[in-house]
Structure 1
Amino acid sequence: MLSKRVFPVLGKEAQRGPLLFDDLPPASSTDSGSGGPLLFDDLPPASSGDSGSLDTSISQMVKNEGKGAKRKTSEEEKNGSEELVEKKSSWGRNEKYQLKRESCGFSLTAQDHFVFCHKRSRMKLEDTHRASSAIFALKGYVAERKGEREEMQDAHVILNDITEECKPPSSLITRVSYFAVFDGHGGIRASKFAAQNLHQNLIRKFPKGDVISVEKTVKRCLLDTFKHTDEEFLKQASSQKPAWKDGSTATCVLAVDNILYIANLGDSRAILCRYNEESQKHAALSLSKEHNPTQYEERMRIQKAGGNVRDGRVLGVLEVSRSIGDGQYKRCGVTSVPDIRRCQLTPNDRFILLACDGLFKVFTPEEAVNFILSCLEDEKIQSREGKPAVDARYEAACNRLANKAVQRGSADNVTVMVVRIGH
Structure 2
Amino acid sequence: MPYGRRSSSEFPAYRFPAWLRCAAVLGLLWLNIGSSLGAPHEPVRHPSVRVSRHVAPPVRHLSKAKAKHRTKVKKSVTATKSQRRAVHKRKHIERTDRPMHVSKVAPKHRRQAARAVREPRGARRAAESPKQHVASADASARSSLRLLARCGYTARSRALLRAKAVYVVDERTRTVLTEKQADRIMPIASVSKLMTAVVSLDTKHAMNTPLKVTAQDQDFDKFTGSRLSVGSTLSRHDMLHIALMSSENRAAAALSRDYAGGRPAFVAAMNAKARALGMRHTWFVNGTGLSPQNVSTARDLSLLVAAASRYPLINAYSTDRAQVVAPGGGRALLGYHNSNALVRGGDRSIVLQKTGFINEAGHCVVVRMMVHGRPIDIVVLGAPGARDHIADVTRISRWLRCSLQ
Bigger fraction of residues in strand: 1
TM-score of the superposition, structure 1-length normalised? 0.23
- Which has the higher Rg, Structure 1 or Structure 2? 2
TM-score of the superposition, structure 2-length normalised? 0.24
Higher relative contact order (CA 8 A, sep 6+): 1
